[in-house]
Amino acid sequence: MSRIDLKKELKHLYAPSAKAVVEVDVPPLRFLMIDGQGDPNTSPAYAEAVEALFSVSYTAKFMLKRAGGPDYAVMPLEGLWWSDDLSAFAANDRARWQWTMMILQPPFVEAATIEAAMAQVRRKKASPALDRLRLDTFAEGRCAQTLHLGPFSEEGPTIERVHAFIAERGALAGKHHEIYLSDIRRAAPAKWKTIIRQPMA
């Protein structure tokens, strides 16, 4: 059986060009998700959330594979970002940032598999983040997106391009969405690839 890669099956959503902003229609998709608040660079809760998401996602993948199920690629980390006070973004006050970090799950990964994976991860390493994980469907609908190349600190002009594209066709809606295609522990910041996605009304 060939390996399933949702990034390829959903290429229009996970392989945009950096040269242009495009409109996409994002169908309802199932994610392993966790909510939190605080600076992603310094918050222990953020680091624990990301670790829990990957630990459970990879554990579920290998549980299914050992049981004779399909082999598939674990999807990249994604993040929804917002603040109740928009000035927190303008001032780069990351302590007041709110986020939902998430990893897309294939449709055949059932809730029972996720629960079993969480229990297995918990036996190996207790983490408060595990109790906050949930499997949920996220329906984003009409969005604009493009690919940002470079460090997160230089996303501003890319985000402005996306917002300008939306302003010509409608209005901003929903939460700022980023999809992290690069392993930032291994790749140089200049080569980081991040999808910038924004829902539009």
How many domains would you assign to the chain?
A: 2
Based on the fold, state whether residues 143 and 170 are members of the same structural domain.
yes
Residues 60 and 108 in one domain: yes
Q: What 3-state class would DSSP assign to 40? A: coil
Which position has the token pair 């229009």?
12
State the pLDDT at residue 32: 98
In what order do the strands lie in the sheet containing 193-199?
A: 22-26, 141-149, 193-199, 176-180, 77-82, 98-104, 29-37, 134-138
Assign residue 43 the CATH number of its domain.
3.20.80.10
- Residue 61 reports pLDDT greater than 90: yes
DSSP for 135-164, written as a single string = EEEE--EEEEEEEEES-GGG-HHHHHHHHH
Look at 184 and 48; give whichever has higher pLDDT. 48
Q: Tell whether 41 and 19 lie within a shared domain.
A: no
Is the same domain home to 81 and 66? yes
Whether residue 52 sits in one domain with residue 144: no
Of 138, 167, 186, which residue is a domain's last?
138
pLDDT at 87 exceeding the cut of 70:
no
Please indicate, yes or no, whether residues 75 and 65 belong to a single structural domain of this protein.
yes
Could you read off the pLDDT of 160-171 as tens digits, one per residue? 999 999 999 999
Instruction: Give the structural domain span for 21.
Output: 1-28+139-201
State the pLDDT at residue 187: 82
Residues 6+ apart with CB under 8 A from 8: none
Distance between the two ends of the chain, CA-based, in angstroms? 41
d(CA 142, CA 144) in angstroms, rounded, equals 7
At residue 90, does pLDDT exceed 60?
no
Residues 21 and 67 in one domain: no
Lowest average pLDDT, out of 11-20, 83-92, 170-179, 186-195, goes to 83-92
Tell me the mean pLDDT in the region 127-153. Answer: 95
Q: What is the pLDDT of residues 18-41, one digit of tens each?
A: 999 999 999 999 999 999 998 888
* 162 lies in the same domain as 69: no
Mark whether 109 and 148 lie in a shared domain. Answer: no
pLDDT in tens, 103-132: 999 999 999 999 999 999 999 988 889 999
